[in-house]
Amino acid sequence: MDAEKTEKKAFARDASAVEVSRESQSHGAGWASLHGGYFSSAEVAAPFVDKILDAACGAEPDVVVDLGGGTGFVLSRFADTIGDVGGIDLVDLDLAEEQLEAVADPRIRRARGSLAGFSRADIADPEQLFMFITRSTLHYLGMGGARNAISHVVSQMRSGEFFIQQTACFDEPEDALAMNMVYQMMGTGKWYPTTRALVGMLLESGFSLESVDDAPVLELTSASLGKRYGFSEAHARAIVESMREFDVGVNGIFEETEEGFVARLFYKIFVCRKI
Ligand SMILES: C[S@@+](CC[C@H](N)C(=O)[O-])C[C@H]1O[C@@H](n2cnc3c(N)ncnc32)[C@H](O)[C@@H]1O
């Protein structure tokens, strides 16, 4: 089988490929303004970038790979903050061509591939010291895929290397369930874990957990979600109706508004190290 066919087959097995193509109209040039500019805000990214910086100053990696790095915003902020990136090879690995095409920072090298299927040796000299980061990607893998993706990432790492990730997860199982219901009603297969389940996956996969901290909440209006996933205001109202049957609201993850609803994703930053 030639390389192109092998690559296509690997993408087909990866549930995130479906999610990425479903929202492809939001990728690229318009990505920065999506959801109130959350993914292009230096202020929002600061707690995550600080964690990456702390780890990088101690570990001095040769290569920093942002798995699902989108348009490269986090790597750019990291490079700006560290001042002199010196010889650090900054690599944005993403499934979406449109995202990689929109990478404007010349300090960033682009690589197309899946975080659930990449090979360390395809990114850079595997003997070098790597650091892996990712923000807001694991939910693309769906309910069954996050664990496999984490296992895959750990399989590509050497002992002592860092994996620093910011992922939406919920302390209360009811909140995770409610958010997953909302996403299902929006027609996506994205899946959000409880904090406990995510911590379990990380530890069972062979990581030690150095720290877990809250990151800024992402507020999603039904109008912006409708644009991203292609549903109407009428459908947003139908989602509101269905959610009335469900006991949500204590932690503010879902609220009715005049236009439809607001959903809130609670993020945490996990500093992990391969044992
Ligand atoms: C919500 S965006 C976040 C982008 C970036 N990490 C940030 O925080 O600015 C998710 C990104 O992950 C990418 N993605 C989703 N699943 C992926 C996978 N399996 N492998 C690589 N990239 C993936 C998408 O194409 C998209 O660019």
Is residue 195 situated within a structural domain?
yes
Is residue 22 situated within a structural domain?
yes
The alpha carbon of 134 and the centre of ligand 1 are apart by a number of angstroms equal to: 8
Q: Is the CB of 138 within 6 Å of ligand 1?
A: no
Q: Which of 137, 141, 225 to mutate to test the pocket of ligand 1 (most atoms within 8 A of CB)?
A: 137
Q: Is the CB of 65 within 6 Å of ligand 1?
A: no
Give the structural domain span for 179: 3-217+266-274
Q: Is the CB of 14 within 6 Å of ligand 1?
A: yes
Distance CA 70, CA 136 (A): 10
Say if CB 192 and CB 168 are below 8 A apart. Answer: yes
Rg (alpha carbons) of the chain, rounded to whole number: 18
Nearest-CA residue for atom 19 of ligand 1: 114
Is residue 58 situated within a structural domain?
yes
Is residue 222 situated within a structural domain?
no
Full pLDDT tens readout for the chain, 275 residues: 455 554 444 444 568 888 888 888 778 888 888 888 999 999 999 999 999 999 999 999 999 999 999 999 999 999 999 877 678 999 999 999 999 999 999 999 999 999 999 999 999 999 999 999 999 999 999 988 999 999 999 999 999 999 999 999 999 999 999 999 999 999 999 999 999 999 999 999 999 999 999 999 999 999 999 999 999 999 999 999 999 887 775 678 999 999 999 999 999 999 999 99
Q: What is the CATH number of the domain that holds 159?
A: 3.40.50.150
Is residue 260 situated within a structural domain?
no
pTM: 0.93
Is residue 7 situated within a structural domain?
yes
Q: For the chain, how many structural domains are there in total?
A: 1
The alpha carbon of 84 and the centre of ligand 1 are apart by a number of angstroms equal to: 26
Distance, CA of 26 to chain centre: 15
Is residue 235 situated within a structural domain?
no
Is residue 245 situated within a structural domain?
no
Three-state secondary structure call for residue 71: coil
